[in-house]
Structure 1
Amino acid sequence: MSASPRLPRRALFATAAAAVLIAAGLTACGDSGKVESVRLGYFPNLTHATAIVGVQEGLFQKSLGATKLTTQTFNAGPAEIEALFSGAIDIGYIGPSPTVNAYVKSKGKALKVISGSASGGVLLVVKPGIKKPADLKGKKIATPQLGNTQDVALRYWLKQQGFTTTKDGGGDVHVTPQENPVTVEAFGSGAIDGAWVPEPTASTLVKAGGHVLVDERDLWPGKKFVITNVIVRTEFLQQHPDLVKAFLKGQVAATRLITGNPAKAQQDVITALGKLTGKPPKAALVASAWKSIEFTNDPLASTLVTGANHAVEIGLLDKPNLTGLYDLTILNQVLTEAHQPTVPEPST
């Protein structure tokens, strides 16, 4: 799914190379050079539940010991990548499209994928009058942000249906990037006709009277595709592999908790989202949305490559060189020590 688009030439990417070179020096360090904190970025979405549970349960902090964990949340991938390029975060949970885009724009220097996190959890929810793909012509469909994972997936799917789209909202179907809270309001007011969004926004739209036209799992072999993986600044990985290993111990522990005790994990998410957004989702909504998401340490690398090819096909990305994008060495050390199956190193 998520290959990243060739976004407008923003300062983010124009200065990417310079930012990558200085990012390591921006890590929160004391005068001695000792790292005082690991900065983590993630989204307040169910598809980032591994991060949310790991923070809420203190699993990352427990593994990091005396090194403090600090966190920052984002609405969509490009904004998180900007933070990573500027050195404001060290590790991030993020979708495949911005992952690819950042890797390509930095010529492979900015980041590495060090773990998987989640698969699935993305739906196209539309107004009751839209019964089939052909009914979307002339309609306004929202995505979280231009060039993010869902934006790419929607545009590719629309092309498969014979529709055209443009970056400025033109074409046969008007794609309207906006933040998820805005999408919920816009759907309720009738300003948009639907949205291709992650959970829990998708289930919120269903509760508001929409219905599911597409469950993205149905578009992938085995109903599996990467929706969230874990990335790290390359310099941080090179300079602090011990902290990356400690963090990944928290990642593996959080995945184990989520799969072993989903009720507790869901309550953690409800509590955390209440703090982050000011409005905790209903337990029934979270339980329903949870069914479409699979949490895994496997980054499902082949689906990221497929997503990149989708972005190339719709003209949002030049053919990328993804050699060296993945480094699962430390993850597999952690999995082995935890007596869990290791993840094959991708061939990209």
Structure 2
Amino acid sequence: MQRPDPADRIDHGARIRLGAAGTKSGFRGRLLGLAGVGALTALAVLTTLVPGPSQVQAHAADRGPATELKLGYFANLTHAPALISDSKGLLEGKLEQDGTGLEPQLFNAGPAAIEALNSGAIDAAYLGPSPALNSYISSKGNSLRIVAGAASGGASLVVKKDIAEPSDLAGTELATPQFGGTQDVALRHYLAENELLDDATVTPSSNGTLTQLFGRGAIDGAGVPEPYASLLVENYEGHRLVDESSLWPEGKFPTTVLVVAKDFLIEHPETVEKLVEANSEAIDWLNSAEQEEKIVAVQEALNAANGSSFAQPVISAALEEVTFAEDPLADTYQTLINHAAQVGIGEPGSADGLVDSRFIASQEH
């Protein structure tokens, strides 16, 4: 296979547009994304944890509803509760009752969102668990809390058709959305478990870029969330070498969780409660809507978020891979922390105290 040019393999365009409103129809936030080389900076900030404005306050206390909630999420199907909540105005309507404004912001992967959370650029985010866990451990529990789950499943290692077993990954060029992200940790751990970590190259690249690279044969596979995994299968003759659910007991592992900056949670619990309520309503809608209605709504929300257009077969296949639920699957977090530490991403530590489940309606107290 012809090896890709390094400029093709790495998404150098750290694609940050700060201070300008998104122009895509239906998306009111700002586009923020870091990939490739920019991801290394994000991870450095993640582990050093530069405090945001609220984190320097010595005595945080309940200050009532926030003036504004800055919320980050991704244009992934695994973030459908955020997408549906935004497109249907579920969260915006709840916040308006308290005079709280909503500013959505779009990210490519978790480390960039964590960087924004740690700096105070956002207050809460939907993201994969690995960056959240790394931030929590590195800050000794002072950076954030997980307040709800959003999605489980829906992550796969998709490879070209001539790769049939793990040993075939030796010498391959693989990609993930961002260094230190949940799919990145999962892929590196899988390679380590199969004694291939030093035999395959894993390059960070945005979801859109790695799709193009896979399509023209510049990479051999990618560890990606939905709908990108199904897109590679449906449109580019890829196949799932590893469905990550096969690596977990009962097939359950968290793909997306809802996190809030610790000080924002202390200062504005009423606003956080509204956020969790909207997340719950969006999940209920996704689990009760007719399939056709759900496909159309997700297609429109993804397109409004960043202009990504996915055909009905791709969205339909992707929805089969994902479970939407409020349960954050907290029992998996220590395993995820251990996986990250084993591949040199993040520190060893304990997940005790990470989850604040008081706002989850279905939680038994």
Q: Same fold (TM over 0.5)?
A: yes
Distance in 2 (alpha carbons) for counterparts of 1:76 and 1:175: 16
Say whether residues 1:198 and 2:225 are aligned partners.
yes
Distance in 1 (alpha carbons) for counterparts of 2:251 and 2:45: 34
Say whether residues 1:312 and 2:341 are aligned partners.
yes
Say whether residues 1:48 and 2:69 are aligned partners.
no
Structure 2 match to 1:233: 261
Match of 2:358 among 329, 332, 338: 329
Between stretches 52-61 and 313-322, larger displacement belongs to 313-322
Deviation at 1:126, TM superposition (A): 0.6
Between stretches 32-41 and 294-303, larger displacement belongs to 32-41
Secondary structure in 2 aligned to 1:124? strand
Deviation at 1:324, TM superposition (A): 1.6
Secondary structure in 2 aligned to 1:330? coil
Question: How many residue pairs were aligned?
Answer: 318
Structure 2 match to 1:248: 276
Say whether residues 1:292 and 2:321 are aligned partners.
yes
Say whether residues 1:103 and 2:130 are aligned partners.
no
Distance in 2 (alpha carbons) for counterparts of 1:128 and 1:17: 44
Distance in 2 (alpha carbons) for counterparts of 1:76 and 1:205: 18
Aligned ranges 1:23-102 → 2 under 5 Å:
35-65=66-96, 66-102=99-135
Q: Given residue 239 of structure 1, which amino acid in structure 2 is its aligned partner?
A: E
Tell me if the contact between 2:138 and 2:347 (Cα under 8 Å) persists in the aligned partners.
no
CA deviation map 1:217-276 (0-9, x unaligned)? 111111110111100011111111111111111111111101011533332221121122
Secondary structure in 1 aligned to 2:196? coil
Tell me if the contact between 1:24 and 1:87 (Cα under 8 Å) persists in the aligned partners.
no
Deviation at 1:18, TM superposition (A): 3.0
Moved over 6 A (4+): none
Secondary structure in 1 aligned to 2:355? coil
Deviation at 1:33, TM superposition (A): 9.5
Secondary structure in 2 aligned to 1:18? coil
Distance 1:131 1:14, change over 3 A: closer
TM-score w.r.t. the length of structure 1 is 0.86
Coordinate RMSD, CA, aligned: 2.1
CA deviation map 1:61-83 (0-9, x unaligned)? 12212322110010000000011
Distance 1:277 1:18, change over 3 A: closer
Deviation at 1:88, TM superposition (A): 1.2
Listed as ranges, the gaps of 5+ residues in structure 2 are 1-39
Structure 2 match to 1:209: 237
Distance in 2 (alpha carbons) for counterparts of 1:224 and 1:84: 27
Aligned ranges 1:112-131 → 2 under 5 Å:
112-131=145-164
CA deviation map 1:41-96 (0-9, x unaligned)? 00100010011011111111122123221100100000000111111111110111
Distance in 2 (alpha carbons) for counterparts of 1:149 and 1:293: 15
Q: Given residue 124 of structure 2, which amino acid in structure 1 is its aligned partner?
A: I
Tell me if the contact between 1:23 and 1:85 (Cα under 8 Å) persists in the aligned partners.
no
Q: Given residue 297 of structure 2, which amino acid in structure 1 is its aligned partner?
A: D
Distance in 2 (alpha carbons) for counterparts of 1:154 and 1:197: 9
Distance in 2 (alpha carbons) for counterparts of 1:23 and 1:187: 44
Q: Given residue 186 of structure 2, which amino acid in structure 1 is its aligned partner?
A: A
Say whether residues 1:154 and 2:187 are aligned partners.
yes
Tell me if the contact between 1:20 and 1:85 (Cα under 8 Å) persists in the aligned partners.
no
Q: Given residue 318 of structure 1, which amino acid in structure 2 is its aligned partner?
A: E
Distance in 2 (alpha carbons) for counterparts of 1:23 and 1:89: 16
Secondary structure in 2 aligned to 1:130? coil
Deviation at 1:17, TM superposition (A): 4.5
Tell me if the contact between 1:17 and 1:106 (Cα under 8 Å) persists in the aligned partners.
no
Structure 1 match to 2:304: 275
**Sequence identity (%):** 42
Structure 1 match to 2:208: 181
Q: Given residue 139 of structure 1, which amino acid in structure 2 is its aligned partner?
A: T
Listed as ranges, the gaps of 5+ residues in structure 1 are 1-6, 26-31, 165-170, 336-340
Distance 1:189 1:343, change over 3 A: farther
Distance in 2 (alpha carbons) for counterparts of 1:265 and 1:157: 33
Distance 1:141 1:290, change over 3 A: same
Distance 1:232 1:161, change over 3 A: same
TM-score w.r.t. the length of structure 2 is 0.82
Deviation at 1:197, TM superposition (A): 0.4
CA deviation map 1:171-206 (0-9, x unaligned)? 201111111111011011211000010011111111
Match of 1:163 among 169, 192, 196: 196
